[in-house]
Amino acid sequence: MQERIRNIAIIAHVDHGKTTLVDAMLKHAGVFRENEAITERVMDSNDLEKERGITILAKNLSVHHGRYKINIVDTPGHADFGGEVERVLKMVDSVLLLVDALDGPMPQTRFVLKKSLDLGLKPIVVINKIDRPGSRPDEVVDMVFDLFCELNATDEQLDFPIVYTSAKLGFAKLDLNSDSNSMEPLFAVIESNVHPPAGDSKAPFQLLVTNIDYNDYIGRIATGRIFNGRVKAGETVALVRRDGSIERGRITKLLGYEGLKQVEIPEACTGDIVTVAGFDDVGIGETLAAADNPVALPYVSIDEPTISMNFIVNSSPFAGREGKFVTSRNIRERLDRELRTNVSLRVEDTANADTFKVSGRGELHLSILIENMRREGFEMAVSKPEVILRVIDGTKMEPMEYLVVDVPSEFQGAIIEKMGPRKGEMTSLQPMGETVRLEFVVPARGLIGLRGELLTETRGTAVMTHTFHDYAPYKGDIPGRKNGVLIAMELGETTAYALDALQPRGILFIGPGVEVYGGMIIGQHAKDNDLDVNPCKGKKLTNVRASGSDDAIKLTPPRILTLEQALEFIDDDELVEVTPQSIRLRKKELDPNKRKRK
């Protein structure tokens, strides 16, 4: 059986078509019935993944093709979820490196490829979207080869097989000129180029836990790959923890993968990816081993977080109105639960019992956690994201990001101008037809709030992606937000009459009929200072009619901020109040007199 198993992960930059390729492979392998209704991107199973069209969590499935069983792991493409990719690579023997036939290698392609080359994996290069207008597969193959050379790939890794695919149309080719209307060539390349899993089936049992989940019926379940030996359901095994302590327990359920479904299996052997139930307190990176010979497996180290944020118990006048879980105990328990599965996250206590310092890989990483918490009924306030500085050999160092911006050539000057004050250094400028690709190395601090500005400057045409580059000496101060804010003075409900008078002062974030409180931010001021205003003022009614002043009020639609936009907008003395129904901006100090004193 071990000889017939192939374990692969699909890695790529965001939006290069990983999950769509998995769909095509599942269809070709006959996992779906003839008349079965199939959703697009079937692996993106949770609500946030479906809404945003991105993969957040790595997921497993397996397909049978001829005499082979192929275990496939679909991974995220965003740099913020790099921790998911890093731990998954430990389970597989090869990777499909997916590259868009028009875009070519992007920042995250470099990041995930480097991780897989460092582990000694030999990638299979898949050039996807060859049906896309303007695609340039031959050029992209050369760019991929250059990237392999840059990352110091071995001669064996440089001798990579190439497959050309259109995941959307469901075909793969080994040669651009050949006729093919199925994914068969891709399966053939996987079967011939991926080694069977290494390991000794007669040695004592060892399984490395790389994923944790919870099932309402059987409790905590751990997924991982069997590196040595075999295991049966009902067997007693040992759990070797990170600190070296050992706990024995019985495997109550042993689950394998058939297509997308988990099915109970009586026994599993070396090389298989399985899910095990029976241990209430198992963590990622721990080892399940034979009870009579418990030996731990080495675990891949995960890159450290680069950005932190404070999660604070909500203290606004509206606290507790909309959320079910509002106390520090609730928030702490939820963060502890997240730590068990989210390997890139760190949570620290602070001097204040109501504040927790949460560190992650980027704004998106932390905002997805906040979004999940608010959907579960949590209510809290969060502070502005801050980068994590380090002192190395007496020098203050800060994280740098590798930024790539694709933009129409007419806007390239505006982009370069924006990067100057943010201490960005341009490393490359490549014309790509009507667009230009600009590459920068920029401090992580300089990226906070950048996306919104770039989209405004380029009329929504800029595409920006970034990934962690390295730590470098501190670059000095970066100017923050230029504009001040409009702050409500009192508790009440906004009126159209008051907002009409405030419109010339700046951009409003709320419309009429919205409840506000003193200290809540209701808009962006046109000047650089903060302004206290009264958005709840009603019109004084008299018996006298005046021509002109009774005209119908015309309000400009307010700018409604999403969670990410709110986090990018706020300054150091401001918070985002997050509840299941609302996202509000507020000053840390609500009292205007105390605020002025500070």
Instruction: Name the binding residues for GTP.
Output: 15-20, 128-131
Backbone angles phi, psi at 496, to 5 degrees: -65, -35
**DSSP code of residue 99:** E
Per-residue tokens: 226 = 């069997």
Token couple for 560: 């409604």
CB 212 within 8 A of CB 220: yes
Cα gap 475→67, rounded to integer Å: 57
For Cα atoms 377, 379, 385, give the angle at the middle one, nearest 5 degrees.
Answer: 125
What angle separates helix 412-419 from helix 450-457, to the nearest 10 degrees? 150
> Residue 311 — φ and ψ, nearest 5°?
-100, 120
Q: Are 410 and 453 in contact (CB under 8 A)?
A: no
Block residue for tokens 């390729």: 21
Which residues, 6+ apart, have CB-to-CB distance to 413 below 8 Å?
Answer: none
* DSSP H helices in 429-491: 450-457
Annotated binding-site ranges: 15-20, 128-131
In order, the DSSP letters of 353-418 are: TTEEEEEESSHHHHHHHHHHHHHTTB-EEE---EE--EEETTEEEEEEEEEEEEEEGGGHHHHHHH
Residue 270, SS3 per DSSP: coil
Residue 476 CB-density burial (10 A; 0-12 exposed, 13-18 middle, 19+ buried): exposed
Q: Are 162 and 96 in contact (CB under 8 A)?
A: no
CA distance 28 to 558: 48
- Specify whether the CB–CB gap between 283 and 274 falls below 8 A: no
* Token pair recorded at residue 42: 């079937």
Given the DSSP bridges, would you call strands 515-516 and 574-578 parallel, antiparallel or unpaired? unpaired
Cα separation of 473 and 81, whole Å? 25
- DSSP secondary structure of 519-584: TEEEEEESSSS-EEE-TTPPPPP-S---TTTTSPP-PPPP-PPPHHHHHHH--TTEEEEE-SS-EE
Partners of 382 in beta bridges: 311, 576
Quote the DSSP letter at residue 325.
B
Residue 276 C-beta-side C-alpha neighbours within 13 Å = 38
